[in-house]
Amino acid sequence: MNIYGIRAIYHFEMARTFRTLWESIAAPVLTTSLYFIVFGKAIGSRMGDIDSVSYGAFIIPGLVMLNLLNESISNASFGIYMPRWAGTIYELLSAPVSWVEVLIGYVGAAATKSVMLGLLILGTARIFVPYEIAHPLWMIAFLLLTAVTFSLFGFIIGLWADNFQKLQVVPMLIVTPLTFLGGAFYSITMLPPLWQKITLFNPVVYLISGFRWSFYGVADVHIGMSIGMTFGFLIICLTIVGWVFKTGYKIRN
């Protein structure tokens, strides 16, 4: 195992974050604050509790998940796309590092950044809404697992994309809509019966539901389903990445 190689990639990626620390933090924190002000305070104060949880507190897990998914994808996709775009990937390809080590470096750094941001958003939320975390270990486990899974997903997008626009397409056109429709701002039990069934095809429902369960002990779907779906998505991403590395798709040809 090339530990120095993993460390080099990880530090390189983290240094990139710290160079643009202000931009990395300011935008998500501001956006989240606006969500809390508008949905949590202004609208939320006129809404009833959901599953005995105030609306302001109810949306916290969804908002964290929204940011976690987007940040994980954008960090990892940008991280591997940049060397491809700038041509510096030649060094990575000619170095004595296995793709597992490359993956640990890039995905590890992307997941670290998004977990840091997730915790920062939780801290910001505390300013606006009081909340408690019923299962803190599960909360951390969901946070880490989702960050790693979606960083892997971002890594795949970064390998697939041919231009900067493509980097944006999947997060904007797929992940954000799925998160909004995945119960970030409502319980799926509030939907008409038909839509409740349709929405179960949305994988993000399981992530948000599981994460919310770790906070308040209530969930839209069984916690076992949430854990299973999260691992399922992780395995799918690992399989795709494994295939990419084995075939050299868009890398070594």
Partner 1 sequence: MPTSAAVENSVPIISVRDVNKMYAGGFQALKKINLDIKRGEIFALLGPNGAGKTTLISIICGIVKASSGTIIADGYDTVRDYRAARATIGLVPQELYTDSFESVWATIKFSRGLFGKTPNTTYLEKVLRDLSLWDKRDKKIMTLSGGMKRRVLIAKALAHEPTILFLDEPSAGVDVELRHDMWRMVRELRQQGTTIILTTHYIEEAEDIADRIGVISKGELIVVEDKDILMRKLGKKQLTLTLRQPMDSIPAELSAWPLALFDEGHTLVYSFDSQKEETGIAELLRTLGEHNIEFKDLSSSESSLEDIFVSLVRQPKGAWS
Closer by beta carbon to partner 1, 22 or else 201: 22
3-state secondary structure of 2: coil
Residue carrying structure tokens 């697939």: 160
User: Whats the size of the chain, residue-wise?
Assistant: 253
What number of CA atoms fall less than 13 Å from residue 201's CA on the CB side?
Answer: 4
100 is a contact residue toward partner 1 (CB under 8 A): no
Minimum CB–partner distance for residue 155 and partner 1 (Å): 18
Does the footprint of partner 1 cover residue 18 (CB under 8 A)? Answer: no
Residue 21 binds partner 1, judged by CB under 8 A: no
The C-alpha atoms of residue 205 and residue 215 are separated, in whole angstroms, by 16
Q: Name which of 2 and 54 has its Cβ closer to partner 1.
A: 2
Dmax (CA) for the chain in angstroms is 60
Q: Are the C-beta atoms of 144 and 47 separated by less than 8 Å? A: no
115 in contact with partner 1 (CB under 8 A): no
Question: Degrees (nearest 5) of the Cα angle 175, 203, 149?
Answer: 70
- Choices 15-23, 25-33, 144-152, 153-161; region in contact with partner 1 by CB under 8 A: 15-23
- The amino acid at residue 140 is I
CB of 78 to partner 1, least distance (A): 13
Q: Is 135 in the site for partner 1 (CB under 8 A)?
A: no
From candidates 172, 177, 248, 250, binder to partner 1 by CB under 8 A: 248
Footprint of partner 1 (CB under 8 A): 2-5, 7-9, 11-12, 15-16, 19, 86-88, 90-98, 248, 252-253
